[in-house]
Structure 1
Amino acid sequence: MLKGIFFIPYFFLLSTSFLIAQPKKWAANWYFGYNAGISFMDGTPKPLSGGIISTWEGCASISDNNGNLLFYTDGSTIRNKKHLVVPGAVDLGGHSSTTQSATIVPLPEEDNIYYVFSIDFSGGEKILQYSIVDMQLNEGLGGLVSKNNILLTNSSEGLTVIKHCNSIDYWILANELGTNSFKAFKLTKEGINRKFIESKIGARKGPAGHLKASPNGQKIAIALFSDSFELFDFNPNTGIVSNQMLIRHPEFHPTYGLEFSADNHYLYMAGTLVDGKQIYQFDITAGSASAVLQSKTSVGKIADSYFGALQLGPDNKIYVAINGHNHLAVINNPTLKGTECGFIKDGVSLGGKKSGIGLPNFISAPFNTQPRVFISRSVGKTCKDITLKADIAPRVGNWHYQWFLDGKPIHRATQTSITPAQSGSYQVIVNEVGSCNKDTIRSEELDVEFLNANPEFTIANCNNVLLKANANAPFQWIGNDIPREQESQDTLTVAGYGVQKYRLKMFYSDNTSCFVQKELSVVFPPTQSYKLEKKSLVSCDTLTLIAPISPNWDTYKWKLLDNSTVNANKVTVRQSGQYIVFVENTQTQCVTKDTLNVIIHPSPAMRTNESFCLASSTLELQAGANGENLLYDWAPNSSKNASLIVDKAGSYHVRVTTPQGCSSSRSINVVELQKVTLGSNITICEGDPIELSPTVTNAPNPVSYRWSSGENARTIKPEKSGTYTLTTKQSVCETVDSIKVIINPLPKIKTTETVCLDKEIEAGGLEEDLTYQWQHSGESTPVIAISALGVYKVKITNTFGCTATRNISVNAYCPPHVYAPDAFTPNGDGINDVFSLFVASGQPVCLDIYNRWGQLIKRNENENPGWDGQVDGTLSPEGTYPYVFRYKIRNDNSIHEYRGVVILQR
């Protein structure tokens, strides 16, 4: 039993197609056309490879209950799942140019025996015959048991198979060529019954065109390969064809492919050959032949080829063959009206293979399932305006309805909908009129309950009453002093006085917009009253509400504006509004209340206390309040304005009052700006002492210091050039001063050193533009001559005027050292024309030159002796000349000799 069942029927009413269950997967694999095939094993058709079939028209395939391929045929040859010819299964009479060349039917109540029906085209005569395949033979690949068993001579090319009413047996339906005779052969577990059921009805049948049955087996359609097709009723119980309906139109030429939608509602027809460019949809439930023809809608067109067979697939879509194409067209939603059915030309790829105009021929109802019935409920303008409607899926067919209330049939309730008159459990039972299925289809039960309540009250104690809803649906109490958490309680206690109205609002849990209200007048018993001293109070910002203590009451509770409560006789509030105090005597359980109206005016909103710096001669102070018509009072000044101009430091106060008399105040402190100076810029030399110290005046408050170099002390000692900025702050006053410091570098000189006594010493400056002053002599040259041991000091000054002193210690005589060249060239070019020697720390005495035989040829006793390569004015020849150089040492008079050889070259 379902309660509140709205969601179930609405789901099916909104559905646009019916997903009909597929009990067996016989149609999972299709082979057709020119080695083409598709598989439905995963629900979506995909190309199949390996198929060895080449036929323009009819063919058939069969798979087992799980969708595994068993075998397929073009009506002439049977091939197993390995695509090999079943032994002997050739020349079965089918033909590549027969509309429905073959179809395959399992023997009822057998899992391994299959009948293969085919239409022989040999010699121009068409013969309906059958062969039998046993899948237990050839190691499960199938073997032929019997073949070429004739059922009907002079058959047309149409062939269809319809489930018997018993859902076990099958009807094999064909029509005789050139007559109006239909012949139905019954296939049971005993085999094919050659004694057929004949129905002579309709037009004479031509050779080509499809014969198709609806999934429920109650309709058949046959294409006449002309400008028309026929619709008939079929009785799956008796095999009789009846009620011919001819559908003719000049656009229909030649009619060929036919297929019914899965819900038996629509028939689709396509022409073929050069004129077969369109697919039409017909509503076969429209009524008369003219009504069905009027429902004609073109749902698909092509220009580059023509259509062929139409076949319903396991997914309830209809697939369409297009001659010579490597895709099948598809009608995605065949149960939808008109072009909403969704025709797509290139619907399913054939993996590079091509289609003819034929598709596999299957049993007409392998996908059919039993209908189901559901009840939907709708509510009109009032809660009692309820309609129940039976909805059937699939929806096609003639149905008999019987409605039940609490398990009993409702008199004359045999329509699709009823209007309930009372509460109870409703159900509908349906039977299809004319159906061979005699099962009764029952809906779920749906509870319908009309909203009803009988609210009442009883006196509890003191001024309390007990409310009781007595409702049959969800409800809400509405009235004074009912807490929100108790609004849905069936019974609750309320306190009051006099006569008060309470309402009970009932509504459906699945449709809260539909509700019924009942009113209850409650008469409270008289009780002792409690009165506050005043009915209204006015205050600024906050107010403490006080309920006077009385000996008659021992519990006090204030109800605030947000419906919260405070259990005390005092409460501080900040909002205007109506406040209720409840008082109770816990012994008598009497409760009463009184109301107090509170008006709270806000004080002016003001800025907090502030401090300002008097940086100029005057400063304007703002009161800092927001509002209109405010009154201002300054102190110690007596100004009444919103601002005040001051010219000296001090503490100032302002009070601001609203028209309602609520006031706020604040203090403003004015601080006089301090004076700070760092003095003039400073230039010094590296190493000179320096300290920056500000002069601060007019600073009664403590002063903080912040230098740009990061220090926070009052004074700093800079170590490098730059601009130094000092920021000082006292209270809110801040000042800034800067000073530029230039520290020039000292001159670059050599370090102090100790040397031996030579002719001269250097001052040791390492850069240009230096000046020198030797302290012992006053000389100013960078190099001076010396003759005595001792310490020599020189003062060196650079261009910045910065000075450094260097000490040079001469503490010993230098050992003598002779410098003599190896060769000279007295050729008069002014370069190396004279052979001369130099002795460091010594005094030359004489130079003797010898020839190669050891003879003295030249003596020179000058202070700086040398030889110009001549002897007595005569040029000496090139060669090697020995020499002896004699000299004295500075610290004694002994003579020393230096011997060598010099080469004379010209």
Structure 2
Amino acid sequence: MRTLVYAILFLALLPSSCLSAQQEGNIWYFGQEHGVSFASGSPEAITDGALTTFEGCASICDVDGSLLFYTNGGGRISTTSPQGSIWNRNHEVLYDMEGLKGGAFGATQSSIFIPNPANTDQYYLFTMEEREYASDGLPAGQTQGRGLTYFLLDRTLNGGLGGTIIDDERLHVPSYETLSATRHANGTDYWIYIVDDNTGDFFRYRVDAGGITGPVLQPRAVSDSITGPLKISPARNRMFIGGVLYNLNSSNGNVSNPRVLPGTLNSNTYSFSPDGSYLYVIEPTVSGALAVRYDALSANPLPTRTIFATLGPAIQGQMQLAPDGKLYWLSYSPANGQNVSFNAINCPNSPQATLSENVLLFPFESVPFFGLPNFMDYIFNTEETLIADLGPDTLLNCNNGPITLAPQTQGDEFLWSTGDTSPTLTVTSPGIYSLTVSSECGFVADTIEVFQNADTPTASISGPASICRGDTAVLQAATNLSGLWSWSSGDTLPAISAVEPGLYVATITDFCGRTAVDSFELIVIEDPAIELAAPSALCPDETGTATAFSAGALQYAWSNGAVGDSITLTGGGSYGLSITNGCGQLDTLFQIDSLTGPLLLLEGAEPLCPGGEVKLLATTSPEASLRWSDGSTLPELTAKSPGIYVATAENRCAVVADSVDLQPIGCENCFYIPNAFSPNDDGRNDLFLPVNLCPVEGYMLQVYDRWGGLVFEAQAPGLGWDGARKGERMPMGVYNWVLQYVQAGQQFRRTGDLQLLR
């Protein structure tokens, strides 16, 4: 039972006949100028054909089911046998094969038409040689027959009657009897399959917009000799020939997994169901034949063998899937006189398949015929299943009045649970109603429950009040009646997934058009976000306060063990903070720079000699305020007199000072020593006296005559020589002097000459 909540019910049923099969296979020509048209949906005999064949033939229509071409695939050189032709839609010979070209009408599958993927107006015709190719004489140069050959036809030539662009192009020799094709999985290209007579293996070709490529050898993997046609499932996933069922990959063309079905080895009459699920075989017996079905999709199909009909003695011909979804084959029994029987398997997709003999009878003159046109069976692919679908379970009677259940169907028989047998049913009261639909392929049933309009709809939304960012909330809407949901988010299912905060609104509209609304506010808790205030830098012993804030925080934990939203810190360094809320924890680090007292460096200190100057430079790290002992604040100071110079640097962490003592140490100009004097008591240059310009200690001045005799000695500055020794005036001439002194703890000794003048 299914759910339906509509005011009017529609039931979909597909009849047993194929409603969607392509119409390229609508018209068949075979035998002795016989034919069948499926234009009406059922097979009808037609007699306008020009074709004569024993077995092989092919025909092709356009997508609207109008005839384009047909052929027997080729002939023999004998004038008493058909020589092979291609006919146009007016049944005129489009191309005469003259018994020398194409394949042979005696081949099981003498020919097949395939659309050109590069041009919708063109068709390839592939033909196959018969094994008895030399029975009426051997054409010159054809010692192994003509094998696989192809033609290219264009329907637009000759005023729309068609003509050949390429004719009688040989592809492979030797090959006989079997020829099949199917569409590639890409929906555009095609695969061609034959059997190589030298190896007994499959050869495959690919037809695409660029032309024909191949062959590719595909080992057949069994040693049995080939008999019967090569059949490919409409589902393009199975292949059957010579009593062996294979898997087929329509993407790469590979054939694999051979499974022998012994009862089929001597049969030439078989085909797949339209949906590819079953393989049907007419298996010959001593007294007649058995109609047998295998599960083609089973990994082990042999145990699925099912006999569904028994046939009397007859020669069984080829079987072909048709546009009406049935399988048809030819047979000949003397009981039918000079007629070939056209038989059918009905409902081949269904386990209830049945058999109909003598659907049509076709006369013959002397020898019966057994071949039907060769098609790519994928064009007949259809599930062909009878369906009864009442839709959903519940039908709401909004007006509480009569309701007509009116299925759209082409079924043969209808039976409602009320006993009514009409296609529609009018109900006036609530309850459960069932419908059974029958056809020749079986029956199907479905049920619906009808409710009256009683309650008004309600709506409610449940879900979590809040979620963490990154999580998902499932909001579930509930109602007391069936209907259609519409959320403010655009969703239409009762349950939605929400990740963003906000107001979510759900509206239920029941099947009478009434609405109910509910809303739900969802809160999304974000990951903790931190607002942190802390000093940017601290001195080693300086204290400061760090304060943190995070909305929704449950706990603040600092790296020094403190808790709370603020702490007192001493000195710089790295600090950590962990904040937790209902959705988790966020860890962060922050840095307070460590400040230090200034480092002071004085540069440029050197002896300060009389008359000179020294430039001093004070530098600090880190930057600090600077002041010299003379009150100046610039980094550079010019000193012009000996003495101690002090620089002081100060920042928020400390005050430091440094000094330099500038003295005339080692200066050559600490004394002015004359090189002559005139002790004549005139008050001018009467004494030899070095002038002291620098403070010294250990002073000693000595004067010697030219023979080295000491004539004067003074041990204190300011005492000069008056040019006499022990009161006796010394003669004019050159004297030598020696000056010794100590300055800043360093001993100095200077010497020179002195001229005494009178």
TM-score, scaled relative to structure 2: 0.45
TM-score normalised per structure 1: 0.38
Q: Which has the higher contact order (CA 8 A, sep 6+)?
A: 2
